[in-house]
Amino acid sequence: MAYRSIKTYGADRGLSCAYRQWAAESHCQLLHGYSLGFVFDFAAEQLDTRGWVVDFGKSGFGAIRDWLHHMFDHTLLVAADDPARAEFERLQRLGLAQVRIVPGVSAEALAAHVFEHAQNLIAIATKGRCWVASVECREHGANGAVYENPDAVLRQVSAEALTRALQGAA
């Protein structure tokens, strides 16, 4: 069984960024901004020496917090496949924007992108003891998306299958 720990890094933290859904057939294809929020679900089979899944201070969550601010604090997110990418990169060269190229700008794509980075950073911080079970990206109170760790899902399914198999064998 795994221990779980939740860290909410809400919209109140000031991760204000702008982006556009260039392929949208609505006003979402125009630049607009959000103060993004993230919810991290961490898991570990063993707690650290203090009884924690993750230290939410500098030595645990700190690298993730720093990366979040680098990526989402007063930045312009541009999807890698945006046809206007060169124009947005020009804004950075002119000193008018801090552009961050991301795989996609949907809440779903951002949750997956943040998961990938957080998973790597938390594995380093905990020497592999802890993993990210899921990341939720919130645009605001009505919109959000969750990306679940495929390995954690497989681990859970495997554990449930093993439990059923053992119960069936008894």
Going by the DSSP 8-state scheme, the letter that residue 129 receives in this structure is S
pLDDT recorded at residue 164? 58
Domain membership of residue 29 as a residue range: 3-169
Q: What is the mean pLDDT of the chain?
A: 89
Count the domains in the chain: 1
What pLDDT digit, counting tens, does each position of 105-150 carry?
999 999 999 999 999 999 999 999 999 999 999 998 888 999 999 8
CA distance 37 to 138: 5
What mean pLDDT comes out for the span 29-51? 94
What CATH number did the domain enclosing 41 receive? 3.30.479.10
CA distance 111 to 113: 6
What pLDDT digit, counting tens, does each position of 58-73 carry?
878 899 999 999 999 9
pLDDT at 169 over 80: no
